[in-house]
Amino acid sequence: MRRLLPETPDVTDLTSLAGLAEAYAYPEPPGLPWLRANMVSSLDGASRLEGLSDGLSSEGDKRVFGVLRALADVVLVGAQTVRAEGYRPARARDDFAEARAARGQQPAAAIAVVTRSLDLDLDQPLFTEPLVPTVVVTCAGAPADALKAAGRVTEVIVAGEQQVDLAAAVTALAERGWTRQLTEGGPRLLGQLVEAGLLDELCLTLGPLLSPGDAPRITVGPPGLTRPMELVALLEEKGFLFARYARSVNSRT
């Protein structure tokens, strides 16, 4: 992996997990929640290939994906993505165990599923086999029966009345000590986080291919919405670009 910006840590080998952990480290010391997104896109903006993000990925992208999870306290993901991608719990990794323990983190990141409808398969491994219990984030207006069913198998965070209040959800997760936050989408959840002004950082893998069609972009939201971002790091391997963007200083509140 080559540096393309001088301030990017010198990661020359994608198999260097320690180097990637340095390149993608969260701001320290942790205080307020820091929410980063990890997404992959084609050159023309497609976030999926044949309905899934995996077709846009590479071995390097998957390694970065694993490192980002290994650094995070919690991963926010939309229910649609959970269903489409067959989400499984985050796993503990020996390479990061010592560092996580030193930071006071759990052995693996918790998964927080954001959903209003609670249309979830509670028998899937995400809920039955997690090393760290999965959390469901919903609102008071969610279907009462589904809310009770979810509460029987996992922790439920109620944030908002008729719709999920993402700002309240981010705060509730941070109050559990989960300030190193990561979202893996999908595009609708990421668009809502951007709209709410909650996204601090975007880690974007740009795959070297064109994919014309009607696949969604990495964000779905209202037209005309803009959020300035600043490029802070850029790595390259085999034509794949690994970019980190931070929210513009002028846009922070």
Instruction: Select from 53, 50, 44, 55 the least CA-distant residue to 211.
Output: 44
Helix (H) or strand (E) holding 137: strand 135-138
Two tokens at 72? Answer: 């995070």
Do you find a cis peptide bond into 133, omega within 30 degrees of 0?
A: no
Sheet holding 74-78: strands in order across?
A: 2-3, 229-237, 240-247, 201-206, 34-41, 180-183, 74-78, 110-114, 135-138, 155-158
Residue 25 CB-half CA count within 13 A: 13
Instruction: Select from 232, 247, 242 the least CA-distant residue to 194.
Output: 247
Assess whether pLDDT exceeds 70 at residue 249: no
Question: Phi, psi at residue 151, to the nearest 5°?
Answer: -65, -20
The full set of domains in the chain, from first to last, is 2-251 (3.40.430.10)
Report pTM.
0.91
What is the amino acid identity at position 65?
A: F
Confidence of residue 19 (pLDDT cuts 50, 70, 90): confident
pLDDT at res. 253: 45
Residue 164: other Cβ atoms inside 10 A: 24
What is the amino acid identity at position 99?
A: A
Confidence of residue 225 (pLDDT cuts 50, 70, 90): confident
pLDDT at res. 110: 97
What average pLDDT is seen over the chain? 91
Cβ within 8 Å of residue 93, ≥6 positions away:
66, 70, 108
CA–CA separation, 219 vs 105, rounded Å?
29
Query: What would the mean pLDDT of 70-93 be, rounded to a whole number?
Result: 94
